[in-house]
Chain A
Amino acid sequence: MNNFLELQAEEEIKLAGSRPSLLIERWSQSPALAKRKFLLEAGVEASYLLIVDKPVEIGALERRWLIGPGAKVNLYYLFLEPLKTEIKFIHDIGAGAIVNSNSLFLGDDNDDWHIQADYNFQDRDSFGRVKVEASLREQAHLDYAADMNVSPAAQKSDTRVDMRLYLEGKARGQVIPGLNIAANDVKAGHSASTFKLAPEDLFYLQSRGLSPADIKKMLSLSLAKNFIQGFPDEVLSKEVLDLISVNL
C-alpha cells in the first residue's frame, strides 16, 4: 500500500497529495482516541479502517470527515466489542466527492451500540454509498440512525443507505435510515431490512451436507467478505477476515 498509517494519538489529520492513503485504527493495538477529525484536500484518495476489538472506557466516540471536492474516501467501521457511549460519525462531503462507507457489527452477550451517522452532501455531483450490516445474537442490541442530508446545492448527487440486520435469540435492533433531501435533481434512496435464510434454502444447504452450525458460519463469513470488499490492502483484508471468523 502507498501511505500506510497506524493512527496513534493525532486528533486532527490532514491528507493531501496524489498518492492514496490507508489509515488504520485498531484499538487492541493502539490507544483508543475519543475524537478525531480528518481533512481531505481536493482530489485526495484515502481508505480508513476502524476496528473496535477491545472494550474501552471512553467518554464519547466521534469521527469527523471533511471531504474536499473530488476527493474519494472508503470507510470501514468494524465493531466487535461494545461501547457504552454515544458514537457519532459526521461526514461533510464536497462537490464531486465520493464516499463509500461499510459498517459491520458482530454482537453477542449484552453487546450494545448507539450510533448516529450523518452524511452531509453539500455540493453538486457528490456520490455516497453507505452499507450497514449487523449480526446480533443472544441479547445484543444496535441502535443506528443514518442521516443522508442533501442540501439545496447538492444537485445531481447520488446517495444510498442500505441497512441489513440479522437477529437471533433475544437480540434487538433499532434502525433509522433517514433521508433529508432539499435538492430535487438527485438520486436518493435507502433500504432497511432484516434477513434470514428461508427454510427451503436451509434445507437445500443441509441436503448438500452442511450442518446448521456450518451454515451459520458460512453466512457470517459472507457478511464479513461483503464488509471488507474493495479494501486496498490484501494482507490486511485477510487479517480482518480472520479476526471476524474468530469472533463468530
Chain B
Amino acid sequence: MAEDLKLHNSLWDDYNQADYMAQTKSGLDEALVRRISAEKEEPAWMLVKRLESLKIFQEKALPAWGPDLSRLNLDKITYYAKAMEGQAQSWEDVPTDIKNTFDKLGIPKAEQEVLAGVGAQYESTVVYHNLKAEFKRQGVIFEDMDLALKKHPKLVEPYFMKAMPNTLHKFAALHGAVWSGGTFLYIPAGVKIKEPLQAYFRMNAKGMGQFEHTLIIVESGAQAHYIEGCSAPRYGVDSLHAGGVEIYVKDGARFRYSSVESWSKDAYNLNTKRAIVEKKAHMEWVGGNFGSNVTMLYPCSILVGEEASADHLGVAFANEGQTQDTGAKVIHAAKDTSSNIVMKSISKGGGKAIYRGLVEVGPQAEGAAVSVKCDALILDELSVSDTIPVMKINNPGATIAHEASAGKINEEDLFYLRSRGLKEAEAAAMLVNGFIEPITKELPLEYSVEMNRMVELEMENSVG
C-alpha cells in the first residue's frame, strides 16, 4: 500500500508545541497543497481544484453570523507529515477517562481500539469479508476516498465538490484545498442494500481525520443506509474538523445518512453535508450531535426533481461550555416536493443549543409541502436555546407548517417518575430520552441504545 500521509493540524492559542513538530511548516500555502497532491499521486484535475480552493479560502472571510469562531487561529495552522507506521499508539497510551467512557457505553473492545485510533483494520473480520464479496457481486463500491480517486476517477470527477462547491463558505474552501481520506460509496442502479453500511467497515479506518471527504452516489432505484460516526468521544482527533459529505440521490432512489457524533471538548466541528435529490427520490438525514466546543452543522437537501422528498431528524445536546449550532436546510426547486424536519435540542449547564433552519420554496416549486417541528429542552437556568427558522416562500401554492417550542422538564412528570422509585437524575434522563425518542427510534438498535446512554452520561455530566 502506498505510504499514507497524515496531515496534522494544530491550532495554536497560547502555547507552543515546538518539541514534537518535526518537518513543520507554518501556514497553509500553495507549496504545501502541491506537496499533498503529489504525495497522494492524484490526477491533475484534483490539484487544480485544490489550488482553486486554496485561493478562495485565502480570500473569503469567516462567516459573519453564528457562534464565535474568533479563537480559531487559522493563520497559525501548522502541518507536518508523518508516515502511518510511525504513528501507531498503544492502548496503554489512551487516557483512563476515555477508556472509562467507552466501558460505560458498553462498546466492544475491538471497536474501542478503532475509535482510539490504535485499532487494527477490520479486514480480518468475517463480517467485513462477507460484505466485500457481496459488494463485488453487485457492483457496489465502498472504498477509501483517496483510493477511489485513483481507482475510479471517471466516477469521482463528475461529482466531486459539485453538491458542495468550494465557493460555499470559507471552510468548504479549506476543505477543498486540504481534504484527505473519507468514504466513497457507489450503489449501482436498482441495487437495494438492507444492512446499514458502517463507516468503520471500510479499510484503513484509523479514526476520523479532520478533512475527510465522503462522496456517495445512489443510482436510479437504488437503496442504502450509511452510518458515520459513533457516540463515543473521539480521541486523538484534532481541534478543527472541516469535513464534507456529498450525496447524490438519483431518480426513484432512497438513501439514509445517519450520524451520531460526539466530540472532545476543544473541537470545532464545522462539517458541510449536502444532498441533491432527483425525481421521486427520497433522502433522509438522521443525526445526533454531542460534545465539541462549537458545532456548526446544517445538513442540506436540494430537491431538484419532481416529487423529491427529504426528512431531517436531529438531536443536539449542548452541555457546559458547548455550542451546538445545528439545523437543516431544504431547498424546494421542483414541483410537488416535500420535506419534513424534526429537531430536538437539549441544553444544560450553560450550554447553548441553536437551531438554524432554512426552508426555501422556489417559484417553480408548485405544490411544495413542508413540515418543521423543533423543540428545545432547557434543563436549567444557565442554559440557552435559540430557534432561528428562516422561511422563504416564493410559490403561493406551497403548504408550510412550522411549529417550535422551548421550555424545561415538566415538574409533574418528574415527580411522577420519582414517586415510582426512580432517582431524580434517572427520572430526568428518562424524560430527556423520551423527548428525543422520535429520532432515536429511526436508528439501528445499537446506535439508539448508545445515543440513550450518551444522554444519560451527559445528564450525569461525566463524559470524558
Contact = CB atoms under 8 A, between A and B. Distances in A.
Give yes or no for direct A-B contact (beta carbon below 8 Å): yes
Interface of A: 152, 155, 165, 167-194, 196
Say whether chain A's binding surface is mostly helix, strand, loop, or mixed: strand
B407 interface: yes
B-side binding surface: helix, strand, loop or mixed?
strand
Interface in B377-435: 378-381, 383-408
Given A167-B396, A191-B404, A194-B398, A184 B389 contact: no
Contacts of B387: 178-180, 190
21 contacts: A152-B381, A165-B393, A167-B393, A167-B396, A169-B396, A173-B393, A175-B391, A176-B388, A177-B389, A177-B404, A179-B376, A179-B387, A179-B406, A180-B386, A181-B406, A184-B381, A186-B407, A188-B407, A189-B406, A190-B387, A193-B402
Contacts of A171: 396
B363 interface: yes
Contact of A181 (B385, B389, B393, B400): B385
B392 A174 contact: yes
Contacts of A174: 390-393
Interface string B69-106: 00000000000000000000000000000000000000
Given A170-B363, A184-B408, A189-B404, A179 B385 contact: yes
Contacts of B399: 194, 196
Given A184-B378, A186-B378, A189-B406, 16 more contacts: A172-B392, A172-B393, A174-B391, A174-B392, A174-B393, A175-B391, A176-B389, A176-B390, A177-B389, A180-B387, A183-B378, A184-B381, A189-B403, A190-B404, A194-B398, A194-B400
Contacts of B402: 177, 190-193
Interface in B342-398: 363, 376, 378-381, 383-398
Nearest to A177: B389
B413 to A, nearest CB: 14
Contacts of B378: 181, 183-184, 186
Interface in B174-220: none
A138 B173 CA distance: 40
A107 to B, nearest CB: 12
Contacts of A184: 378-381, 383, 407-408
Contacts of A190: 387, 402-404
B431 to A, nearest CB: 14
Q: Which of B386, B393, B407 has the most CB of A within 10 A?
A: B393
Contacts of B379: 184
A226 B380 CA distance: 37
A172 B394 contact: yes
A179 B402 CA distance: 13
A135 B19 CA distance: 67
Contacts of B407: 184-188
A190 B387 CA distance: 10
Contacts of A187: 407
Contacts, number: 101
A29 to B, nearest CB: 33
B386 A176 contact: no
A182 B106 CA distance: 35
A223 to B, nearest CB: 16
Nearest to B399: A194
List the 9 closest pairs (A to B, CB-CB), nearest first: A167-B396, A184-B378, A184-B408, A179-B387, A188-B406, A192-B402, A189-B405, A172-B394, A194-B400
Contacts of A155: 381
B391 A183 contact: no
Given A181-B385, A185-B408, A191 B392 contact: no
Given A191-B402, A191-B404, A194-B400, A182 B393 contact: no
Contact of B404 (A165, A169, A179): A179
A181 B384 contact: yes
A155 B392 CA distance: 32
A179 B391 CA distance: 14
Nearest to A185: B408
A192 B400 contact: yes
B341 to A, nearest CB: 13
Contacts of B363: 170, 172
Nearest to A153: B381
A155 B382 CA distance: 12
B273 to A, nearest CB: 23
A183 B407 CA distance: 8
Contacts of B395: 167
Contacts of B394: 172
A193 B401 CA distance: 4
A168 B395 CA distance: 8
A105 to B, nearest CB: 14
Contacts of B404: 177, 179, 189-191
B306 to A, nearest CB: 20
A179 B381 contact: no
B391 A188 contact: no
A201 B439 CA distance: 35
Most buried by A among B395, B396, B402, B405: B396
Nearest to A198: B399
A171 B404 CA distance: 25
A208 to B, nearest CB: 25
Contacts of A179: 376, 385-387, 404, 406
A13 B383 CA distance: 37
A169 B394 CA distance: 10
A198 to B, nearest CB: 10
Contact of A193 (B385, B386, B400): B400
Contact of A192 (B376, B389, B397, B406): B389
Given A174-B390, A176-B390, A168 B396 contact: yes
B383 to A, nearest CB: 6
Contacts of B398: 167, 194
B86 to A, nearest CB: 49
Given A181-B406, A184-B380, A189-B406, A194 B393 contact: yes
B391 A192 contact: yes
Nearest to A167: B396
Contacts of A173: 391-393
Contacts of A176: 388-391
Nearest to A144: B391
Contacts of A180: 384, 386-388
